[in-house]
Amino acid sequence: MGFSQFLRVPKAYIETTIPSLYTSPPSSRPIELARQNLTKLWWDNYSHEFELVSSLSVEDECSMGDPEKAKARLAFLRDIPYLEITPKVIEIASEIVERQIIPLKAAEDAVHIAIASVHEVEYLVTWNCKHLANPRNWRRISDCLASFGYRASVICTPEDLVGDGE
């Protein structure tokens, strides 16, 4: 029995911005283009190091907008299993919004946080730096989840996950 049998592959929750940036044509805006390139670099070279998961919430968001672009985003998600949106997920997401950690207009972001936490996902991968990958929100998110007995996922960008840890 080898040591590797005891190592668990970490889970990474794929949030809506990942399929959106991966499947979009190259942006003329330098920062968005860099994010697209980093997303493709991580996805093509490092995502295999994780057990990838997502949710129906992401699928719903990806299905909005231009039908051809939506089709590409949904194809991106095709082989990724979805985590269940449980009553506990809804309860926690509601509390995140009620505490004004995430604004009501971005309530789906609270759902992403809650899904990842309830299902013990190590990483929530996103380019949403306004509400999700925002260090100023981290303590409040973490404290809210702890009040329910859950640990917050590391909310990060693909850039944060590039590399093999050596």
Q: What angle do CA 151, 10, 75 make, to 5 degrees?
A: 105
Q: Is-contact 5 47, C-beta < 8 A?
A: no
Whether residue 92 is contained in a domain is answered as: yes
pLDDT number for residue 2: 52
Mean pLDDT of 132-158: 95
pTM of the model: 0.92
Number of domains in the chain: 1
Whether residue 83 is contained in a domain is answered as: yes
Whether residue 146 is contained in a domain is answered as: yes
CATH number at residue 43: 3.40.50.1010
Range of the domain at 109: 8-161
Whether residue 2 is contained in a domain is answered as: no
Residues 6+ apart with CB under 8 A from 49: 9, 10, 164
* Side-chain-facing half-sphere of 116: CA atoms under 13 Å: 31
Give the pLDDT confidence of 88-123 residue by residue, as tens digits: 999 999 999 999 999 999 999 999 999 999 999 999
Confidence of residue 8 (pLDDT cuts 50, 70, 90): confident
Whether residue 3 is contained in a domain is answered as: no
